[in-house]
């Protein structure tokens, strides 16, 4: 948490105070954050697991007139959208034509799915898998969040597990930590895209993924195309604070993704679909885009 506060300051010029709460109770967390909120211009939630993270963020959003942002969800999702935009551009593909598989239906997986839909990926052509297999309308074990995903996604009604999901798919986005066999990746459509983001052990090793995919990204710093949240959160909060935004809207998140993608858009290669996490151009570009989007979306007070 202290390290993240340093990154806020270094890249976004945002003063951040790490506060750790010794509770996992939703009501307690909401009550404490609400009581602390008058001292802060925004709240960055961290390390709260699904499904409680969804309710906590929703309740705080409704209760407080400042930006609430759960980085484990939205930071990852924003950078994934930026990377997928550039990967699709590099391969001369359109986001709406891609068949996407998301492995993982926790906080990051749900947020990635919703972010991709907001950015132009077809929800019907997206399949989300959890530890029990493909999420589909006929599954009896779905909670509220997964039931919502089942209604939005998988219009073909696919069933089974990750192997069945990946057959013929164009994109794999791994945010689960579960291992995926090479044979399943090999069954994807030719010229595919694999983002295996579990860290330190990706769902499929990048060297293995590269045998079958045209573009590969990971969450690790020792391989190309690191999907790192630091590309998003400092600039998002800088822009939201500059606009005195009352919330972080979907439009602001999409604008952040577009800005991240734009930093390297003129020099794309299979090994460079996102900027380096240390690229000093990223946070100012994201901040400007987010502030402008806040004004467009009617949540800015400056």
Q: Determine the distance from the C-alpha atom of residue 190 to the mean position of all C-alpha atoms in its chain, rounded to a whole number.
A: 25
Cα 22 to Cα 290: distance, rounded to the nearest angstrom? 32
37: domain CATH number is 3.40.50.10380
Q: How many domains does the chain have?
A: 2
Domain that holds residue 96: 91-218
Do 30 and 55 belong to one domain?
yes
User: What tens digit of pLDDT does each residue of 273-295 get?
Assistant: 999 999 999 999 999 999 999 99
Do 54 and 108 belong to one domain?
no
- At 1 the pLDDT is 87
Cα 7 to Cα 228: distance, rounded to the nearest angstrom? 12
Closest C-alpha to 145, from 40, 20, 52: 52
105: domain CATH number is 3.40.50.720
pLDDT tens track, the chain, 302 positions: 899 999 999 999 999 999 999 999 999 999 999 999 999 999 999 999 889 999 999 999 999 999 999 999 999 999 999 999 999 999 999 999 999 999 999 999 999 999 999 999 999 999 999 999 999 999 998 999 999 999 999 999 999 999 999 999 999 999 997 899 999 999 999 999 999 999 999 999 999 999 999 999 999 999 999 999 999 999 999 999 999 999 999 999 999 999 999 999 999 999 999 999 999 999 999 999 999 999 999 999 98
Output the known binding site: 46-47, 72, 199, 228
Residue 263 lies in a domain: no
Do 164 and 237 belong to one domain?
no
Do 33 and 96 belong to one domain?
no
- At 141 the pLDDT is 87
Sign (positive/negative) of CA torsion 16, 261, 87, 107?
positive
Do 165 and 246 belong to one domain?
no
Do 96 and 214 belong to one domain?
yes
Residue 266 lies in a domain: no
Do 110 and 41 belong to one domain?
no
Do 25 and 96 belong to one domain?
no
Output the known binding site for a divalent metal cation: 46-47, 72
Output the known binding site for (S)-malate: 199, 228
Instruction: Look up residue 105 and give its two tokens.
Output: 């239906």
């Amino acid at each position: 948490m202290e390290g993240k506060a340093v990154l806020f300051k270094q890249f976004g010029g945002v003063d951040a105070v790490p506060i750790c709460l010794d509770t996992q109770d939703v009501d307690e967390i909401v009550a404490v954050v609400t009581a602390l909120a008058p001292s802060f211009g925004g709240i960055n939630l961290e390390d709260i697991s699904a499904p409680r993270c969804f309710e906590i963020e929703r309740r705080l959003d409704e209760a407080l007139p400042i930006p609430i942002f759960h980085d484990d969800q939205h930071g990852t999702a924003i950078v994934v959208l930026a990377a997928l935009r550039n990967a699709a551009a590099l391969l001369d593909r359109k986001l709406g034509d891609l068949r996407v598989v998301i492995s993982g239906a926790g906080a990051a997986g749900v947020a990635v799915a919703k972010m991709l839909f907001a950015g132009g990926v077809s929800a019907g052509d997206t399949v989300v898998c959890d530890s029990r297999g493909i999420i589909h309308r006929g599954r009896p074990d779905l909670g509220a969040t997964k039931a919502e995903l089942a209604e939005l996604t998988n219009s073909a009604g696919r069933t089974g597990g990750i192997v069945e999901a990946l057959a013929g798919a164009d994109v794999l986005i791994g945010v689960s930590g579960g291992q995926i066999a090479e044979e399943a990746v090999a069954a994807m459509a030719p010229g595919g895209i694999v983002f295996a983001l579990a860290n330190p052990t990706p769902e499929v090793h990048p060297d293995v993924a590269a045998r079958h995919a045209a573009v590969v990204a990971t969450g690790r710093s020792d391989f190309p195309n690191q999907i790192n949240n630091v590309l998003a959160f400092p600039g998002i909060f800088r822009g939201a604070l500059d606009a005195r935004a009352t919330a972080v809207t979907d439009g602001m998140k999409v604008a952040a993704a577009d800005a991240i993608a734009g930093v390297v858009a003129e020099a794309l290669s299979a090994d460079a679909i996102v900027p380096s996490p240390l690229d000093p151009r990223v946070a100012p570009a994201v901040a400007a885009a987010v502030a402008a989007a806040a004004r467009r979306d009617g949540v800015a007070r400056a």
